[in-house]
Structure 1
């Protein structure tokens, strides 16, 4: 099977993730030996909530939606993982080893699957690795707490602006752009608003000259005004 990334590029992507940065070459080789690369079609599910969690994952290409379904059938998007991001790693450190969320591909995607037992065995053998990972996990927890504050205490406009600000990429010619290929209903669920509210806020930003919308692409004309919008 032809993979989206060559082996060297894939290794570089994996090693740039916080989980793998502390490992030396020999340790990384042990993790890499048990890795599988999985190709998913759009809307294909990787695992469902409640399944035994024996592996964790890193997105090599595409986007993976992590979500939960309420008792009344409503879907709540918990996270959208893109290239270089990991998911399901926290389950390794829980007493219950089953996935707390379900996952599906938002577009054709490739994910790297890692054996949790190999990773944990390496941690058990190195205090240095444990402390390094603990520091990174603490920073990620702090970021999650800030995100919970944004979702529960801030208004809808602030939440949309915060999401857009996180997606901004700068082009070689200095423009600030956002790829809006993720379906709007998925983004709306991610920031805990209705899809029509998300669309309304985008139109308001465009009307005020802060952004320019061109299909699934947004150009941020005034990044400073965007960051202060809705505050």
Structure 2
């Protein structure tokens, strides 16, 4: 089991540069948590004693407005970590809530011991800083997409971001309502936009699968929507 966890954790940039002894130390001070679909992992403003690695499944991070409306901040898939930035923020509380989108297994990693391990290794600190910097840049790009682009352009941008090499098909592995919230649009807006893209020959939709037929046109749509 420990060897399997070592191999799995190596997938995450946060752990990829750790020595085997460091990785085994992380596992020794961690524990696995099984979540059912919809089950909460932690709530907004709970004490942040751990950060997490998603072994299987998917986690949604969200904030609640004063009116109780949920805004999805990020979707975390298997092989990714989350809440690690709180190691350095000193707030002591989670700024978001976290819940499973489907049956999910996460590894809860002890903040205090991980911080102690970082103090013992400058090289590990620099590797972690590089990881957090990459994540920061990705979040800034996403903020730009949400604030500078129209709803149609956001959907186009998201579709393009899901493409991998020559693969032109996107599989929706989360409910449309969740994805719409992630893009700061309503579910009916998502449906209207994808229907229009289909009519224009930009995409085809078959169940949970979307095939991007004209990525050049989608890129043009995103570019035209940027402020001059």
TM > 0.5 fold call: yes
Within the alignment, does 1:32 sit opposite 2:24 as a pair? no
Q: Return 5+ residue gaps in structure 1 as ranges.
A: 1-5
Asked if 1:99 corresponds to 2:94, the answer is yes
Larger helix fraction of residues: 2
| Aligned residue in 2 for 1:196 | 188
TM-score norm. by structure 1 comes to 0.90
RMSD between aligned alpha carbons?
1.7
Aligned equivalent of 2:39: 44
Give the equivalent residue in structure 2 for 1:139.
134
Q: Please tell me whether the aligned partners of residues 45 and 104 of structure 1 are also in contact (alpha carbons under 8 angstroms).
A: yes
2:110 alignment partner, one of 111, 115, 138 = 115
Cα distance in 1 for residues equivalent to 2:190 and 2:146: 14
Quote the residue 1:3 is aligned against: none
Matched, 1:151 2:146: yes
SS of aligned partner of 1:201: helix
In 1, distance between residues paired with 2:108 and 2:11?
Answer: 16
- Provide the rounded CA distance (Å) in 1 between the counterparts of 2:164 and 2:3: 24
| TM-score of the pair, normalised by structure 2 | 0.91
For these two proteins, the number of residue pairs brought into alignment is 223
After TM superposition, the structure 1 stretch with the greater mean CA deviation from structure 2, 150-159 or 76-85, is 150-159
Q: Contact (CA 8 Å) 2:60, 2:99: kept in 1 or not?
A: yes
1:81 is the counterpart of 2:73: no
* Contact 1:34-1:115 at 8 Å conserved across structures: yes
Task: Work out whether residues 64 and 70 of structure 2, in 8 Å CA contact, stay in contact via their aligned partners in 1.
Answer: yes
Distance 2:188 2:153 in 1: 16
Distance 1:14 1:152 in 2: 34
